[in-house]
Amino acid sequence: MVVRYCECCKTETDHRETLERKPSSYDTKKSIYGRLMLLIHEFINGGHYYNMNRYLTCKACGHKILENMGNEFE
- For 10-41, the pLDDT digits (tens) are 999 999 999 887 776 666 777 888 888 878 87
Do residues 38 and 25 touch, judged by C-beta distance below 8 A? no
Q: Please report whether residue 53 resides in a domain.
A: yes
pLDDT of 53:
84
Instruction: Please tell me which residue, 17 or 52, carries the higher pLDDT value.
Output: 17
pTM score, whole prediction = 0.65
pLDDT of 72:
57
Q: Please report whether residue 49 resides in a domain.
A: yes
Q: Please report whether residue 37 resides in a domain.
A: yes
Do residues 20 and 5 touch, judged by C-beta distance below 8 A? no
Q: How many domains does the chain have?
A: 1
Which domain, by its residues, includes 39?
2-66
